[in-house]
Amino acid sequence: MKTVKFTLIAFIVSLVTITVNAQNQGVAINSDGAQADQSAMLDVKSTTGGILIPRMTQTQRNNISSPATGLMVYQTDNTDGFYYYDGAGWNYIGAPDNDWTVSGNDLINANSGNVGIGITPDALAKLQINGRVWQSGLGGSTFFGENAGNMDDGSNNVNTFIGNSAGNMTSTGDENVAVGYQALSSNTTAQQNVAIGAYSLAASSVGSFNTAVGFNTLLLYTEITGASSQRNTAIGYEAMKGGTSIFPFETPSGERNTAVGYSALMNILSGDRNTSIGYSSMENNQHGNNNTSVGYGAGPSTDNIDNSSAFGSGALTTASNQVVLGNSSVTQVKTAGAITIGGSDATTVAGTIRFDSGTGHFYGYNGTSWVQLDN
């Protein structure tokens, strides 16, 4: 009987404590008699326990009659967790909003709209950033585009690859620049190449110090045993492309060539130290060396001509060690200075003039013999 009396007394005391704490503010439930915070209708304080809200199954939750907006329960089955009623239906607290999700170490945005950082994105931009984009941890390199720099080993290569598959096979090659679809895409270890334009230097796997600007420029150049394909400069559509076929029987390997112009030196293979300037200039040269051509279609008329020079639209050399000024329509060559004529009597081209330093006379070849031209 005493036990019952003491229990009743304790219960009454606790009610009194709650009532006192509830005067003029919220209700406080604690063990130290502290008042409820003025901003709280219910202030529960404990260091040994928490608040336990009703637990029920999904069916029991759905059977709640006329739930109040803001009502909360803990669901124990199906997708268990905390749910609240928003006035129209029950919502799971912590459900993803389908904007950002985590998959392993990846953070994925599944939003169908665009993303802006520091700015409202343009309708055409999936990602728009107001400010700089810094890349670090790439050994001083910059990669932008699908598969760009894909095989880079991360060491201090200082490469710049911009465009789909630009420089994607480069592993240890350093100080290369590739801009454009598949530009320098097959290079692995070469250095200091510049490729600007779709497919420029696309098949260059080893050669270094090449410069290619334009679609398909230096397309097929690559190093093979005994060749270097280095120090070439090509500027213009398919300039120094390297053969007429995508898979030529002979791999291009020439070096120290310069080609400027649409399809200039287009078919070069193993020729070295050629200079070609002009639309389609030196197109016929594949293996010739030390040739110079300036002008539309100028250059050697056939392959395997060396040390020839052709100047003027359509000027074509027909033999090695020959200089041609202009095409067949040119009728006069003028100069403000003197012209020195020399040579040997081994020349057998009709109309040739030479000066014989031994006799001190000029001679002309008439197609049959040399004839002295002066007295």
Read off the pLDDT of residues 354-365 as tens digits, 9 standing for 90 and up: 898 889 999 999
Residue 219 confidence class, pLDDT cut points 50, 70, 90: confident
Give the whole-angstrom CA distance, residue 18 versus residue 21.
Answer: 5
Residue 242 confidence class, pLDDT cut points 50, 70, 90: confident
pLDDT for the residue 98? 65
**Mean pLDDT of the 41-50 span:** 92
pLDDT for the residue 345? 79
**Mean pLDDT of the 231-244 span:** 89
Query: For 49-75, what is each residue's pLDDT tens digit?
Result: 999 999 999 999 999 999 999 999 999
**Mean pLDDT of the 100-124 span:** 86
**Mean pLDDT of the 298-310 span:** 97
Q: Phi, psi at residue 283, to the nearest 5°?
A: -65, -30
Give the whole-angstrom CA distance, residue 375 versus residue 362.
Answer: 9
88 pLDDT above the threshold of 90: yes
22 pLDDT above the threshold of 80: no
pLDDT for the residue 15? 46
14 pLDDT above the threshold of 70: no
Amino acid identity of residue 171, one-letter, is S
pTM over 0.85: no
94 pLDDT above the threshold of 50: yes
Give 291's contacts (C-beta < 8 A, 6+ positions apart): 271, 274, 275, 276, 282, 285, 299, 300, 305, 306, 307, 308, 309, 310, 317
Higher pLDDT, 286 or 204: 286
Q: What is the DSSP letter of 60?
A: H
Percent over 90 (pLDDT), the chain: 67
Report yes or no: 44 and 30 within 8 Å, Cβ to Cβ.
yes
Amino acid identity of residue 364, one-letter, is G
Give the whole-angstrom CA distance, residue 208 versus residue 195.
Answer: 11
307 pLDDT above the threshold of 90: yes
Q: Are strands 100-103 and 106-109 parallel, antiparallel or unpaired?
A: antiparallel
* Lowest mean pLDDT segment, chosen from 58-67, 108-117, 284-293: 108-117
**Mean pLDDT of the 239-252 span:** 68
pLDDT for the residue 26? 86
**Mean pLDDT of the 166-172 span:** 95
180 pLDDT above the threshold of 50: yes
95 pLDDT above the threshold of 80: no
Residue 226 confidence class, pLDDT cut points 50, 70, 90: very low
Give the whole-angstrom CA distance, residue 174 versus residue 219.
Answer: 20
Report yes or no: 210 and 218 within 8 Å, Cβ to Cβ.
yes
User: What b/e readout covers 7-37, taking b as 16+ CB neighbours within 10 angstroms?
Assistant: eeeeeeeeeeeeeebbeeeeebbeeeeeebe
pLDDT for the residue 185? 93
Give the whole-angstrom CA distance, residue 331 versus residue 126.
Answer: 64
Mean pLDDT of the chain: 87
- Of the candidates 301, 303, 304, the one whose C-alpha atom is nearest the C-alpha of residue 315 is 301
**Mean pLDDT of the 107-126 span:** 88
